[in-house]
């Protein structure tokens, strides 16, 4: 149904105002089976998620990724409740959510750092002090006889230019400072550890002994690599066949220009006061080496940006989850070519532009390696960084006396406990009291708060309405969305159907009702691939409400049969079929009462366009 | 132990657990990290009509908001500097000193936090110390701080 008035009103408003989009994401099995909510503010979408071991934290995705993950791969319907606001209010909301995201990220990083500091102190006390040196793994172990390779021009040139800029005394001075830093650590270890900042204050990132040791060791490593003009270590780079992306013509020129830019940055960096200079220099030198290889060989060579401890997923598991490696490889090759084309046209590359090449090349290699030899596929869940770490001993720091070590480890434990307790108090997840819905409404309240003004009034003044975070049943996602639609001036309610529904609608329009019949079940569907993440079921029940109980009975029987069939197989498949059958029974039960949760999901969906959007009158759902 | 009763308990526990909020790393987000289905990487580096790519704008916005928050929390300029590498790395940036967006973002953050011109001058001077990478930091911070001509 299309409400023309609403659409026209929305378009008019779009020309004059900004929008806040409240997203209600339909239920499906896996996580968030009760549904989910999020706030879309332009190209960023904010939502609260459950993080181990029991935290409720603000997550941030770019809006296209959010829609792809929830609407396409998780195959959920998304209802968008659109509220017009002034650009100032939009910026205020976005800034508030974003600041919170950054603060939270830093707080949890501080907690992780304390755990690492404690591990470092423990190893030091045991007489085995070592640190991780980011970027060092690309060059192999320093000063190891036989590891020295043939010096290559690019680092010799860099060394000459650095010496010309800062002089050899400066490099000697840097080495001496790094060694002194390491030698002083045993003395500094006797100093008390600062107490945690007062409640409610953003705790500053500490610069603990481990980090100081790591930075100093990185500097020594970087100077050593520069001195030796060390080659890349075998196995630390990724090579893309020239048939996929040849390094020639303009791409070659752009790569050479980017190498010059890295070189200029490195020369300038040698006079920088930054603490982590060693890492920056190692990363830059490794990239220079990779580009050098690309230019020499005519095929793209980039650093392997997957950390050593990257999550891995087996080929068998990808298959069970419905992934088809050749299709994924084809899509990645296409995107590599596209990114190469974009970068050919860009005269000046940013670091993240080159990082995009590293990321895609890494993904491409992972899939092709898996196809070739069945090895596990590594997963990169963060931005690509050339930071493969190597452990390095730091004998310079001497011995840590037992009494000093005990005091330090105890102090670190106390600080870790205090920060953990505070974070749990602030961010503890609770299914009913403190979940993704209540905290989203609470954060909206905070964003529009005015001193001396009641939250309800402040929200009404800026947003035109208010939903209290803990009122009634609004902690339930669909109730919260209904409250939002009722209380705020929603000008458009837009439904974005799930991926499967979009595809079925398109097929029905092209082929007629035969397509609907064919796609109604998992046996004949051409869209859906049964997979291990979904429970055992036969019919899709997310489209037709009237037939839901009937299909639900069929699904229930299918689940029972799968359970019975899975029982004898349990010793052989780890109980997977049994669990799938049991889950099939569970998610069939709501269908008997006209409710749908299960919708199926997808491991991989090629680029799709022309996704149908449906606009309803405000409040319709 | 009654197997039937255990199975029912397991089903109820499963229903309650999964009824909760979305997990941070769901299966879908992991598969999306293996093979993004919709050219997300190329989209992130494509330039909009304004000339900046989505990734560049996102980085600058984060530096702005991080700086604004630091000012509101009365953190020192040294504390801001210590936090900038972490912000940069989430955007795949290691050499943040050489990235103009860093300094423009700091200036915009100071403006967002309603910092005085004296503070901008002091922070600009401090942050521009230390070598060629930061030669234009003070100028860019001022540029980011200055209100739009429009």
For A177-188, how does the pLDDT look when each residue is reduced to its tens digit (9 = 90+)?
A: 999 999 998 888
Q: Which of B17, B34, B61 to mutate to test the interface with A (most CBs of A within 10 A)?
A: B34
> What is the structure's pLDDT at A273?
86
Is B127's Cβ below 8 Å from some Cβ in A?
no
Question: Who has greater pLDDT, A617 or A596?
Answer: A596
> What is the structure's pLDDT at A608?
63
Question: Distance from CA of residue A184 to its chain's centroid?
Answer: 38
Cβ distance of A339 and B132 shorter than 8 Å: no
Q: Which residue of B has its CA nearest to A381?
A: B33
> What is the structure's pLDDT at A251?
96
> What is the structure's pLDDT at A455?
93
Q: Which residues contact B114 (CB under 8 A, 6 or more apart)?
A: none
Taking a C-beta distance cutoff of 8 angstroms, is the pair A451, B39 a contact? no
Which value does ipTM take for this structure?
0.88
Cβ distance of A31 and B21 shorter than 8 Å: yes
pTM of the model: 0.89
> What is the structure's pLDDT at A204?
56
Distance from C-alpha of A137 to C-alpha of A128, rounded to nearest angstrom: 20
Mapped onto helix, strand or coil, the DSSP state of residue B35 is coil
In the predicted model, what is the mean pLDDT of residues A48-68? Answer: 92
Taking a C-beta distance cutoff of 8 angstroms, is the pair A562, A536 a contact? yes
Taking a C-beta distance cutoff of 8 angstroms, is the pair A219, A134 a contact? no
Q: How confident is the model at residue A15 (pLDDT cuts 50, 70, 90)?
A: very low
CA distances A509 to A500, A505, A512, A559, Å, are 14, 6, 6, 32
> What is the structure's pLDDT at A613?
37
Tell me which residue of B31, B38, B39 sits closest to A30, measured CA to CA: B31
Cβ distance of B37 and A202 shorter than 8 Å: no
Cβ distance of B73 and A48 shorter than 8 Å: no
Chain B residues closer than 8 Å to A383 by CB? 89-92
The alpha carbon torsion through A286, A291, A295, A298 (nearest 10 deg) reads: 100
Angle, CA A582 vertex, CA A577 and CA A584 arms, to 5°: 90
Mean pLDDT for chain A overall: 89
Chain A residues closer than 8 Å to B47 by CB? 346
Is B45's Cβ below 8 Å from some Cβ in A?
yes
In the predicted model, what is the mean pLDDT of residues B52-64? Answer: 93
Burial of A393 (0-12, 13-18, 19+ CB in 10 A): exposed
* pLDDT greater than 50 at residue A320: yes
Paired tokens of A142? 């320093």
Taking a C-beta distance cutoff of 8 angstroms, is the pair B130, A270 a contact? no
pLDDT tens string A567-578: 999 898 888 899
Taking a C-beta distance cutoff of 8 angstroms, is the pair A137, A308 a contact? yes
Q: What values do phi and psi take at A237, rounded to 5? A: -130, 165
The residue ranges of DSSP E strands in A1-41, in sequence order, are 18-25, 36-41
Cβ distance of B90 and A204 shorter than 8 Å: no
In the predicted model, what is the mean pLDDT of residues B39-46? Answer: 78
Locus of tokens 């434990």: A413
In the predicted model, what is the mean pLDDT of residues A311-334? Answer: 93
Chain A closest-CA separation from residue B118 CA (Å): 24
Paired tokens of A310? 């990257």
**Top-ranked range on mean pLDDT: pick from A31-45, A423-437, A497-511:** A497-511
Is B113's Cβ below 8 Å from some Cβ in A?
no
Q: Beta-carbon neighbour count of residue A128 at 10 Å?
A: 9
Distance from C-alpha of A536 to C-alpha of A555, rounded to nearest angstrom: 8
pLDDT tens string B110-145: 999 999 999 999 999 999 987 777 889 999 999 999
> What is the structure's pLDDT at B37?
58
> What is the structure's pLDDT at A196?
59
Cβ distance of A268 and B129 shorter than 8 Å: no
CA distances A199 to A64, A152, A196, A203, A422, Å, are 36, 54, 8, 9, 8
* pLDDT greater than 60 at residue A11: no
Residues in chain A: 621
pLDDT tens string A344-364: 999 899 999 999 999 999 999
Chain A residues closer than 8 Å to B70 by CB? 202
> What is the structure's pLDDT at B38?
58
List, in sequence order, every residue forming a beta bridge with A47; answer none if it has no partner.
A59
In the predicted model, what is the mean pLDDT of residues A313-320? Answer: 94
Cβ distance of A607 and B61 shorter than 8 Å: no
Mapped onto helix, strand or coil, the DSSP state of residue A273 is coil
* pLDDT greater than 90 at residue A399: no
Cβ distance of B35 and A74 shorter than 8 Å: no
Taking a C-beta distance cutoff of 8 angstroms, is the pair A455, A469 a contact? no
> What is the structure's pLDDT at A565?
95
Is B59's Cβ below 8 Å from some Cβ in A?
yes
* pLDDT greater than 60 at residue A614: no
* pLDDT greater than 60 at residue A514: yes
DSSP assignment of A33-64 equals TT-EEEEEETTEEEEEEEETTTEEEEEEEEHH
Who among B19, B37, B45 is closest to A353 (CB)?
B45
| H or E element at residue A577 | helix A576-592
pLDDT tens string A119-170: 999 999 888 889 999 999 999 754 444 445 554 579 999 999 999 999 999 9
Lowest model confidence (mean pLDDT) among A272-276, A291-295, B63-67, B95-99:
A272-276
> What is the structure's pLDDT at B96?
94
Q: How confident is the model at residue B23 (pLDDT cuts 50, 70, 90)?
A: low
Who among A34, A47, A356 is closest to B44 (CB)?
A356
Distance from C-alpha of A422 to C-alpha of A516, rounded to nearest angstrom: 53
> What is the structure's pLDDT at B14?
52
Paired tokens of B106? 């700091």
């Amino acid at each position: 149904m299309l409400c023309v008035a609403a659409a026209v009103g929305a378009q008019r408003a779009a020309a004059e105002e900004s929008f806040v989009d409240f997203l209600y994401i339909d239920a499906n099995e896996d996580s968030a089976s009760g549904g989910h909510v999020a706030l879309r503010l332009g190209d960023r979408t904010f939502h609260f998620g459950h993080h181990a071991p029991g935290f409720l934290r603000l997550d941030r995705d770019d809006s296209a990724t959010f829609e792809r993950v929830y609407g396409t791969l998780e195959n959920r319907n998304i209802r968008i409740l659109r509220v017009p606001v002034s650009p100032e209010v939009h910026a205020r909301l976005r800034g508030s959510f974003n600041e919170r995201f950054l603060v939270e990220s830093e707080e949890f990083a501080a907690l992780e750092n304390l755990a690492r500091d404690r591990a470092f102190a423990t190893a030091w006390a045991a007489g085995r002090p070592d640190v991780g040196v980011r970027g060092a793994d690309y060059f192999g172990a320093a000063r190891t006889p036989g590891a020295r390779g043939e010096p290559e021009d690019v680092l010799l040139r860099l060394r000459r230019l650095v010496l010309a800029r800062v002089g050899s005394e400066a490099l000697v001075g840097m080495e001496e400072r790094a060694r002194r830093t390491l030698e002083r650590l045993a003395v500094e270890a006797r100093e008390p550890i600062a107490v945690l900042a007062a409640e409610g204050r953003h705790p500053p990132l500490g610069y603990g002994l481990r980090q100081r040791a790591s930075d100093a060791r990185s500097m020594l490593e970087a100077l050593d690599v520069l001195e030796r003009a060390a080659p890349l270590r075998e196995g630390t780079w990724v090579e893309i066949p020239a048939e996929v992306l040849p390094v020639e013509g303009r791409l070659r020129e752009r790569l050479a220009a980017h190498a010059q830019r890295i070189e200029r940055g490195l020369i300038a960096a040698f006079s920088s006061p930054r603490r982590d200079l060693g890492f920056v220099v190692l990363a830059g030198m490794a990239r220079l080496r990779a580009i050098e290889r690309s230019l020499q060989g005519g095929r793209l060579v980039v650093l392997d940006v997957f950390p050593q401890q990257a999550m891995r997923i087996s080929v068998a598991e990808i298959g069970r989850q419905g992934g088809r490696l050749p299709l994924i490889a084809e899509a990645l090759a296409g995107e590599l070519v596209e990114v190469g084309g974009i970068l050919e046209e860009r005269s000046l590359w940013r670091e993240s532009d080159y990082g995009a090449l590293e990321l895609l090349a890494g993904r491409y290699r992972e899939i092709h390696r898996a196809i070739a030899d069945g090895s596990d596929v590594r997963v990169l869940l963060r931005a690509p960084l050339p930071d493969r770490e190597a452990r390095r001993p730091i004998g310079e720091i001497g011995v840590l006396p037992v009494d000093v070590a005990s005091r330090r480890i105890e102090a670190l434990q106390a600080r870790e406990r205090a920060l953990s307790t505070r974070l749990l108090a602030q961010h503890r997840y609770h299914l009913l009291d403190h979940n993704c819905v209540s905290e989203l409404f609470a954060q909206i309240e905070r964003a529009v708060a005015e001193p001396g003004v009641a939250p309800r009034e402040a929200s009404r003044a800026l947003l035109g309405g208010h939903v209290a975070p803990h009122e009634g049943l609004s902690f339930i996602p669909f109730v919260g969305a209904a409250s939002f639609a009722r209380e705020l001036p929603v000008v458009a309610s837009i439904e974005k159907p799930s991926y499967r529904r979009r595809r079925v609608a398109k097929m029905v329009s092209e082929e007629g009702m035969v397509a609907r019949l064919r796609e109604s079940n998992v046996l004949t569907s051409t869209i859906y691939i049964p997979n291990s993440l979904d429970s055992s079921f036969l019919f899709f029940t997310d489209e037709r409400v009237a037939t839901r109980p009937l299909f639900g009975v069929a699904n229930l029987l299918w689940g029972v049969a799968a359970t019975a069939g899975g029982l004898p197989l349990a010793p052989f498949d780890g109980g997977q079929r049994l669990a799938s059958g049991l889950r099939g029974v569970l998610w069939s039960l709501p269908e008997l009462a006209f409710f749908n949760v299960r919708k199926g999901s997808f491991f991989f969906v090629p680029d799709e366009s022309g996704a149908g959007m449906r606009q309803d009158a405000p409040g319709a759902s | 132990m009654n197997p039937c009763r255990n199975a029912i308990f397991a089903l109820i526990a499963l229903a309650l657990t999964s009824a909760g909020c979305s997990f941070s790393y769901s299966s879908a987000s992991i598969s999306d990290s293996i093979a993004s289905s919709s050219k997300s990487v190329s989209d992130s580096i494509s330039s909009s009509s304004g000339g900046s790519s989505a990734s560049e704008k996102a980085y600058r916005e984060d530096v702005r908001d991080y700086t604004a928050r630091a000012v509101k929390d009365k953190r020192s300029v040294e504390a801001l500097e210590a936090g900038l590498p972490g912000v940069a790395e989430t955007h795949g940036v290691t050499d943040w000193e050489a990235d103009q967006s860093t300094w423009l973002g700091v200036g915009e953050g100071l403006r967002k936090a309603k910092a005085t011109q004296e503070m901008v001058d002091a922070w600009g001077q401090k942050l521009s110390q230390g070598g060629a990478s930061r030669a234009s930091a003070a100028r860019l911070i001022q540029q980011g701080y200055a209100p739009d001509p429009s």
